[in-house]
Structure 1
Amino acid sequence: MKNLKKWSAVFSVAGLTVAGISLATTVVADDFANVEVPASGLNERFQRYGAVVPVNSLQLVGYGAGKLTKQDVTELLGVPNDSLATEQDNSWQYNVNLPLNDEDYLVCQYQVSFTQQILVSSEWRRPQCNRLFSELSQHAPPQILSFSADFLFEFDSYALSSQGRRELQQAVQDAQASLGGRSVLVTGHADQIGSAEYNMHLSEQRAKAVVEALIQGGGNPEKITYVGRGENDSIVSCPGLVGVSLKECLAPNRRVDILFNRNT
Structure 2
Amino acid sequence: MKKTQFHRFPAAAFGAAAILVLQGCSSYVSKGITDDGKATEVVFPSVENDAWLKEGTFPNLNNLRAVAPGVTKDQLYDLLGRPHFREGVASPREWDYIFHFRKAGGGVTTCQYKVIFDKDFKAQTFHWLPAGCGDVLASRAVPVAERPAGAAPAAPRKVTLGADGLFRFDGSSLADLLPEGRRKLDALAGEIKSSIKSVDAVRVTGHTDRLGSSTYNNALSLARANTVRNYLAQSGVPAQNVQVQGKGESEPKVQCAQTRRAELIDCLAPNRRVEIEVFGGS
TM-score, normalised via structure 1 length? 0.61
- Report what 1:164 is aligned to: 181
Which protein has the larger Cα radius of gyration, Structure 1 or Structure 2? Answer: 2
**254, 260, 279: which one pairs with 1:242?**
260
CA pair 84-73 structure 1, distance change in 2 beyond 3 A: same
- Aligned match for 1:106, one of 102, 105, 108: 108
C-alpha distance in 2 between matches for 1:224 and 1:241: 39
**How many positions carry a matched residue from both structures?**
218
- Larger mean CA deviation between 79-88 and 92-101 belongs to 79-88
1:150 — aligned with what? 164
Q: 1:115 aligns with which of 114, 117, 124?
A: 117
The one-letter amino acid of 2:128's match is E
Question: Taking every aligned residue pair, what percent have the same amino acid on both sides?
Answer: 23
Kindly indicate whether residue 275 of structure 2 is the aligned counterpart of residue 257 of structure 1: yes
1:73 Cα offset (Å): 6.1
Residues 1:97 and 2:101 aligned together: yes
Q: Distance in 1 between matches of 2:132 and 2:242?
A: 31
- 2:85–2:97 CA contact under 8 A, matched in 1: no
Please give the secondary structure, in 1, of the residue aligned with 2:98.
strand
Task: Report the CA distance between 1:68 and its aligned residue.
Answer: 5.8
Contact 2:165 2:181 in 1 (8 A): yes
Q: Give the equivalent residue in structure 2 for 1:134.
A: 144
Amino acid aligned to 1:114: I
Question: RMSD of aligned C-alpha atoms?
Answer: 4.3
Q: Partners of 1:219 and 1:213 in 2: how far apart? A: 9
Contact 2:53 2:84 (8 Å CA) reproduced:
no
SS in structure 2 opposite 1:261? strand
Partner of 1:69: 71
Residue 254 of structure 1, CA deviation: 0.6
Aligned CA distance change for structure 1 residues 232 and 129 (closer, same or farther; 3 Å)? closer
8 Å contact 1:191–1:230 — kept in the other structure?
A: yes
**Stretches of structure 2 lacking an aligned partner (at least 5 in a row):** 1-41, 136-141
The 3 A distance-change label for structure 1 pair 212 and 163 is: same
1:220 to partner: Cα distance: 2.8
- Once the 2 structures are TM-superposed, how far is the Cα of residue 135 of structure 1 from its aligned partner? 4.5
| Alpha carbons 1:176, 1:182 under 8 Å: kept | no
CA deviation vs aligned residue, 1:141-168 (integer Å, no higher than 9, x gap): 5444321112212333331112211211
Q: Which residue of structure 2 aligns with residue 231 of structure 1?
A: 249
